[in-house]
Homo-oligomer: A and B are copies of this chain.
Amino acid sequence: MLSKALHAQIEEELNRFSHSFQHSTLYEPVQYLLSLGGKRLRPALVVMASDACGGNHSEALPAALAVELFHNFTLMHDDIMDNAPSRRGHPTVHVKWNVNRAILSGDAMFAMAYSLLSKSHKDQLPELLGLFNKTALEVCEGQELDMQFETRHDVSIPEYIEMIRLKTSVLVAAALAMGAISARANPKDVQALYTFGENLGIAFQLLDDWLDTFGEQKRVGKISGGDILADKKTFLILRTRQKADAESLATLDHYTGNPTADPNEKIAFVSSLIRRNGVDLELLELAESYRIKALTSLENSTISTEAKGRFFAFADDLMARDH
C-alpha cells in the first residue's frame, strides 16, 4: 500500500528521535510503545501529500513524525481510559508499568510531538501549529464523546458519525493537510486534501466497525464480535435499533449489558439481527458514499494526475481490507 522505503525511513527517524531522550526513565514507555510498530499510515500520508504538492521529504518529516507521536500519545492515554490490557500483542504501558507512568509519559509524548513540529520551516510553522492544535482538541472531544456514549441511551447516528470524525478522521485529514502546507501548497489544495482525508477516515472507521463484526466470519469461519460483546454503540447497532421489530428489540435489550449472557449466543443473535435488517449492507453503502466524497474532493484539487492516482490506489487498498 505504501512504499517500503518510506515506511523504513519513518521507522528509522522515529527510533532515532525517541532514543535521543536517554537521560530520564520518563522516556522508556515512549520508546516501548513506538517499538511495537504499526502501519505508520499518518506520517506516510503527510509525506505523500507533501510529494503530491511538490514538496520534499526533509521539509515534511517534522510534521510527519509529530503526527505519529501525537497518535501514539492518544493510544497511551486511551488505553488507560479503556482499561485495555494489550496493544499489538504486548502489554499496554499502564499494565507494563502503572497508570501514573502512562499518564506522565503520555504527557511527555505530547510535548515531544510539539518538539518535532517546531522543527518545521518557520514560514509554515504558524499554520501547521494552528491546524495541529485544532486537531488535538478535536481528537480529545472525540474521545470525550466516545466515553459519554458508554452511559448514554439516546445516541443518534449523526452523533456517532461526528464522534468517529473527531476521534479518527480529523487526524488523517490534518496529516494530509500538514503535508500540503509543508510543501507550500495553495489553500485550495490544502483544503481538498483535508476533505479527502476527513471523508476517507470516516469510511475507514465505518468499515472497521463492519470488520469487527463480520470480517473474521468471512476469513476464518468465525466472528470476532468485540464491539457486540462490549455493547458498543456503533452504526450497526444504532441503525438496527431503528429498524428491528419489537420482539427482536426486547431480545437485544436482554443481551445488552447482561454479563451472564453466553458470549457466542449474544454474538450470533446480534450479528444475525443486523444482517436480517440489512444494516450490514447499509453500512457498506454508507462507507462507499464517504469514499466517493473523499475521491471527489481530491479530483477537484490541482495536484497531478499521477499523484491523484497514488491516493486513489491508497484509498482502494484501505477499503479493500478483507471484505
Contacts and interface: CB of A to CB of B under 8 A. Distances in A.
Contacts of A134: 115
Contact of A140 (B104, B141, B148): B104
A2 interface: no
| A interface majority secondary structure | helix
Interface stretch (A42-50, A122-130, A203-211, A214-222): A122-130
A108 B148 contact: no
Interface in A66-104: 77, 80-81, 99-100, 103-104
B81 A144 contact: no
Contacts of A23: 141
- Copies of this chain present: 2
Interface in A114-136: 114-115, 118, 122, 125-126, 129-130, 132-134, 136
B107 A144 contact: no
A81 B108 CA distance: 15
A104 B81 contact: yes
A306 to B, nearest CB: 34
A104 B133 contact: no
Contact of A111 (B104, B108, B133, B145): B133
Contacts of A81: 100, 103-104
Given A26-B144, A147-B104, A111 B130 contact: no
Interface residues on A, range: 35 or more
Contacts of A147: 100, 104
A140 B133 CA distance: 20
B110 A107 contact: yes
A37 to B, nearest CB: 24
A166 B106 CA distance: 18
A260 interface: no
A143 interface: yes
A25 interface: yes
A284 interface: no
Contacts of A105: 140
A115 B143 contact: no
A98 to B, nearest CB: 10
Interface of A: 21, 23-26, 77, 80-81, 99-100, 103-108, 110-112, 114-115, 118, 122, 125-126, 129-130, 132-134, 136-137, 140-141, 143-145, 147-148
Given A77-B103, A77-B104, A104-B144, 5 more contacts: A23-B141, A25-B144, A110-B110, A111-B140, A114-B114
21 contacts: A24-B144, A24-B145, A25-B144, A77-B104, A81-B100, A100-B147, A103-B103, A106-B107, A107-B110, A107-B136, A107-B140, A108-B137, A110-B110, A110-B111, A111-B137, A111-B140, A114-B114, A114-B132, A125-B125, A125-B129, A129-B129
